[in-house]
A = this chain, B = another copy of it.
Amino acid sequence: MTQIDDRSLNEATVAGGGLLSRRKLLGGAALGSAAMSLGVVDAVRADPALPEWVTSAGIPALEYGHPAPQEADVKRVLFQIYQDLAPEFSFSGTPLQKLRGTITPNGLHFSVHHGGWPEDLDPRQHVLMIHRLVDRPLKFDLESLDRYPMISRVHFLECAGNGFFNAVAPEPQNLGLDMLQGLVSNAEWTGIPLSILMDEAGAQPEGRWVVAVGNDAPSLSRSIPMEKVMKDGMLALYQNGERVRPEQGYPMRILLPGYEGNMNIKWVTSLWVTSEPAHTRDESGAYTDFLADGRVLQFSYTMGVKSLITHPSGTMTMNGPGLYEISGLAWSGSGRIARVELSADGGESWADAELQPPVQSMALTRFSLPWRWDRAPTQLRSRATDEAGHVQPNRAAWKARYHPSNINHYNAVQAWDVSAEGEVVNACA
């Protein structure tokens, strides 16, 4: 272990607890090489025994590749809330703590299925219908949709209930990010602006709502304001380049940037243009918010501004003292992330993290800052601000707004306790 030069580290300090300037560190001037010598300096020698994979030919190319078998533990966490009642009501959480960058690979995109996913859906039979308050009721099959103008956008999707353990558990649960906050993912979605299809159908002026209906067993249905549909709603046909995956709504889903996950109807087959919302089961039941004063908030679409430190995070163990990079993800349903602040001393002092460009609207944004950990017990926190000026609340402020049983729209600051032994544990905030 090479000794770190404390004098130059102090020059780069930007907040308490060891937070350092990324610009100064990457510039190389302030810290030099010693700060990056992470105990791996070693004499290089030719290895007398070459490993087998260098001495024999490998595997020819595959038609569809797969992750390294050595990474088999990088998978979604599965959990069921109504296991006995409805095993098909299943969740899979993205292992955010094992990923880097901002794109979620399609195999690891989170999913919430109220009635499982329809494996045997026939794409040649599947149609999208637009009807009710329209001049020209229309029916589209996959082949006809292929001729329409398409756009591509990188957007996050987040389940309204993401973070529910932190929202309702009496004590912070010592879990990893996949369980705690894994119901959020990010992909490049490609499809047709809904405004084009609505224009073609001739939506009538009194058609202020669009009820989207899924083609799965529960026919999950939500009412969407026509204003949102026309502004940036998309009929998504492709996910990270290839056809939308079956768990994300193959062959087509609604995409409503920034809106809670369940409104982005999967396997969508019908768009009813109506003058009033339908008050479907899914919008009058599961996806309402219980407020502190006993009232229930309906139609709370937009996901709040939020951030998570992914590295380090819960259930990880620090690999000795020295330099690390704190890295995480931030997003907001209201637009771009404007700022992420980090604290390495439990909220006493804060420093601005660097944001990884391009910072895209309603998309996961990676933030980072170098950090020197000296084995002192401490607490890490991140706090995001979006371009609309919304600031991520702390847990007390969030809890004050909602009824103790409310699980939806939890966006409070996520804190991680770091012990002297380097154990990283969920502390809520």
Contacts and interface: CB of A to CB of B under 8 A. Distances in A.
A244 to B, nearest CB: 8
Contacts of A251: 68, 70
B200 A37 contact: yes
Interface string A16-36: 000000100110100011001
A425 to B, nearest CB: 19
Interface string A181-200: 00000001110010110011
Nearest to A71: B243
A113 interface: yes
Interface stretch (A148-156, A253-261, A382-390): A148-156
A152 B240 contact: no
User: Chain B CB within 10 Å — which of A65, A66, A90, A115 has the most?
Assistant: A65
Contacts of A319: 143, 146-147
A99 interface: yes
B241 A149 contact: no
Nearest to A56: B217
A33 to B, nearest CB: 5
User: Chain B CB within 10 Å — which of A144, A200, A327 has the most?
Assistant: A200
A91 to B, nearest CB: 6
Contact of A87 (B28, B44, B60, B146): B60
A38 interface: yes
Contacts of A397: none
B53 A199 contact: no
B53 A216 contact: yes
A105 B64 CA distance: 10
A291 B264 CA distance: 54
A92 B63 contact: yes
Given A40-B139, A68-B246, A129-B44, A193 B33 contact: no
Contacts of A44: 129, 131, 137-139
B76 A63 contact: yes
A57 B88 contact: yes
A113 B75 contact: no
B109 A65 contact: yes
A100 B63 contact: no
A202 B52 CA distance: 32
Contact of A99 (B138, B148, B199, B238): B238
Nearest to A32: B199
A3 interface: no
A250 interface: yes
B148 A325 contact: yes
B240 A103 contact: yes
Contact of A103 (B107, B115, B241): B241
10 contacts: A36-B148, A38-B147, A39-B144, A41-B139, A61-B117, A64-B75, A70-B121, A70-B123, A100-B152, A101-B190
Counting from the closest, the 5 A-B pairs by CB-CB distance are A58-B116, A53-B118, A61-B92, A101-B190, A60-B90
Interface of A: 22, 25-26, 28, 32-33, 36-44, 51-71, 74-76, 78, 80, 86-88, 90-92, 98-109, 111, 113, 115-123, 125, 129, 131, 136-141, 143-144, 146-152, 188-190, 193, 195-196, 199-202, 215-217, 219, 237-238, 240-243, 245-247, 250-251, 311, 319, 322-325, 327, 356, 358, 360, 366, 368, 370
Given A36-B199, A44-B138, 17 more contacts: A26-B196, A37-B200, A40-B141, A43-B137, A51-B122, A59-B119, A60-B78, A60-B116, A61-B117, A63-B78, A65-B109, A67-B246, A71-B250, A100-B238, A101-B241, A102-B152, A152-B356
